[in-house]
Amino acid sequence: MRNRCHRQTCLDTETESIVLILLVFKGRTISVIIPCLNEEEAIGAVLERVPSYVDEVVVVDNNSSDRTAEVARGHGAKVVREDLRGYGRAYKKGLGVATSDIVVTLDGDHSYPVDAISYLVEAYDHLGVNFVSASRFPQVSSMAMDFKHLVGNMVLSFVMSILFLHRVRDSQSGMWVLSRRALEKMKLESNGMAFSEEIKAEAILNKAIGFREIPILYSSRIGREKLLPWQDGWANLVFLFKKRFFR
């Protein structure tokens, strides 16, 4: 009986959240953008958890060699292809295709909590800014991110905070909520992993956009990692200085 009641409570909470989202965003639509490179193992599980009030799910197939696109289509996503590989390129493609007023992003490897979409869009509505980033810190599970990634992220976030005079807990987070209006005010150049920090920098630098972070629960990815820690970390560090002083 206890378990049944607990499940009912969870269902009631989810229903209330959906109703609240529909009321808050009446007249405004929501798109979810998911860049993918060989995420056949995880993308199905991600798409199954996307809330029903989301109007559009765009999966960007970044020239995958597996069945990522096929699996995504099978789960009802709009699949677009970006033949030139690159995290930034994939996001630019998806942002150019998405049609909604509000855009939510996450990765296709199941590391970001899809259930947090409602939490993020509610926060977006109440915080009075046009860009909200999900921070993976403080970490709840020590297994979610290995030591070298943890240290690298801390260094990049610290440097970004100093350069842009704004506290940033997670400069490399790939889960955000932003408005179409904010996107139109941004100048986004990076085609690689630095895109994640660049879009946050644009939000910080433009006072008409505004930037806030809220914590989420982050977990281990499904499938093979594509990040090159040392190479990508150094490139991202260099990019931060270029963005700050040669914008």
pLDDT digits (tens, 9 = 90+) for 33-68: 999 999 999 999 999 999 999 999 999 999 999 999
Q: What is the 3-state secondary structure (H, E, C) of 105-161?
A: ECCCCCCCCHHHHHHHHHHHHHHCCCEEEEECCCCCCCCCCCHHHHHHHHHHHHHHH
**Do the beta carbons of residue 76 and residue 96 sit within 8 Å?**
no
Distance CA 204, CA 133 (A): 11
pLDDT in the model for residue 71: 98
Q: Please list the alpha-helical segments (H only) found in 25-106.
A: 43-48, 68-74, 87-97
pLDDT in the model for residue 21: 61
Taking 70 as the threshold, does the pLDDT of residue 241 lie above it?
yes
Taking 70 as the threshold, does the pLDDT of residue 220 lie above it?
no
Going edge to edge, which strands form the sheet with 56-61? Answer: 78-81, 56-61, 30-36, 102-105, 176-179, 131-135, 212-215
Of 106, 53, 84, nearest in space to 219 by CA:
106
Distance CA 10, CA 118 (A): 14
What does pLDDT average to over the chain? 87
* Element containing residue 214 per DSSP (H, E): strand 212-215
Higher local confidence (pLDDT), 148 or 209:
209
Give me the domains of the chain, ranges plus CATH numbers: 28-245 (3.90.550.10)
pLDDT in the model for residue 231: 86
Residue 214 phi/psi, 5-degree rounding, is: -135, 145
- Where on the phi/psi map is residue 207: left (φ > 0), alpha (ψ -120 to 50), or beta? alpha
List Cα–Cα distances, 71 to 67, 68, 89, 242, in angstroms.
6, 5, 21, 39
